[in-house]
Amino acid sequence: MGLSISSLGLVSAGLDWVTLTTTAGDSKREMVRYFGSISVRDFQLGYPTVTGGAYGFYGHRCRHALLASKEERTMLQVSGYEAQRAIMLCRKGDNATRLDIQVTVRIEGCDVSEALTRIAGEARTCVSAQGIRPKVSEVHVDGKIETVYVGSRKSEVFIRCYDKYAESGEERYKGCVRLEVELKGKTSKALWQHCADNGLGTGYLLQVLKFYLERRGISAEWVPWEEGSVPPPPLMKTSFETRIGWYATQVAPSVKKMASEWGWQTPFQAIFGKALTEWDRSMIMNAISKVWGT
């Protein structure tokens, strides 16, 4: 990749989309205040607040935000430049079901399409430790690349790199490349909780963005990062996963030892004896005996 890309400076950086849910009263009040300030600014731009909803939540929507409820849970979605301050909503116990982190850079030395071509090439040559290449797709307009997607849209980590001027049509973004990672599910939840637990902000989120870009082979050394990359926090286990893990480490060894000494019927009876009817036990043990022998 001999193409030279140079930066003329950051245009914007931070969160570009946030979807949060909570049952906590303090968090709900902060969400209402945050939505209220956005709705006022959107109204001044000519976008009134209307009724709206998503995912079974119902409430009110303006151009850049949605505030809605379902039973005891409240959801706030914020997009675009209005999301950049949303890190101030970070509180322990709340859940982030989606976080988009972006950095937008004005470049020189090549045009945006050439930079995106380089990014796509870097991602295609990346091979994970498991020998897997990421899925890379492109959007072309008039023979030039305007967007590069890396990964699966359905996965918890999805990267978009695109011509911000072509996407927005705003003059202030001419010559700008946006690098963005969309995080969902356990990945976004763990990251949001880690920020809440440790008082971390936008600088940390950008370090995580850099990590994901590098892991997908995208060398963004031309971005004027202030810090290095850091891996995201470990994924949070569900109560079910925690319980299964306890069985695997604490119970399974004893079952294995008992089975080696007295056969599999003994631990089976000990573990499932009170959970099954006599008919259930007989049917299961007969079926296993036919496969494994007595």
pLDDT tens, the chain, 294 aa long: 457 788 889 999 999 999 999 999 999 999 999 999 999 999 999 999 999 999 999 999 999 999 999 999 999 999 999 999 999 999 999 999 999 999 999 999 899 999 999 999 999 999 887 888 999 999 999 999 999 999 999 999 999 999 999 999 999 999 999 999 999 999 999 999 999 999 999 999 999 999 999 999 999 899 999 889 999 999 865 555 556 666 677 677 877 877 788 777 777 777 776 777 878 777 777 777 776 665
What b/e sequence results for 86-114 when a residue is b if at least 16 CB atoms lie within 10 Å of its CB, and e otherwise? bbebbbeebbbbbbbbbbbbbbeeeebbb
Exposed, middle or buried by CB within 10 Å (0-12, 13-18, 19+), for 125? Answer: exposed
Of 16, 185, 14, nearest to 96 by C-alpha is 185
CA distance 42 to 39: 5
Break the chain down into helix, strand, coil percent, rounded to 5.
Answer: 40, 30, 30
Of 249, 208, 239, 200, nearest to 225 by C-alpha is 208
Kindly list the domain boundaries of the chain, sorted by start residue. 6-215, 239-292
Which pLDDT score, from 0 to 100, does residue 292 have? 64
Which pLDDT score, from 0 to 100, does residue 267 have? 77
CA distance 205 to 15: 8
CA distance 251 to 248: 6
Q: CB of 2 within 8 A of CB of 100?
A: no
Secondary structure E strands in 24-135: 50-54, 57-61, 65-70, 73-79, 95-108
User: Which residues touch 49 (CB under 8 Å, ≥6 apart)?
Assistant: 39, 42, 43, 60, 61, 62
Helices (H), 86-232: 112-124, 164-168, 185-198, 202-215
Which pLDDT score, from 0 to 100, does residue 278 have? 78
Q: E strand or H helix at 255, and its extent?
A: helix 252-262
Residue type, 95: N
- Cα 249 to Cα 69, 246, 257, 261, 272: the distances in Å are 40, 5, 13, 20, 19
Q: Beta-carbon neighbour count of residue 154 at 10 Å?
A: 7
CA distance 16 to 47: 19
CA distance 76 to 64: 11
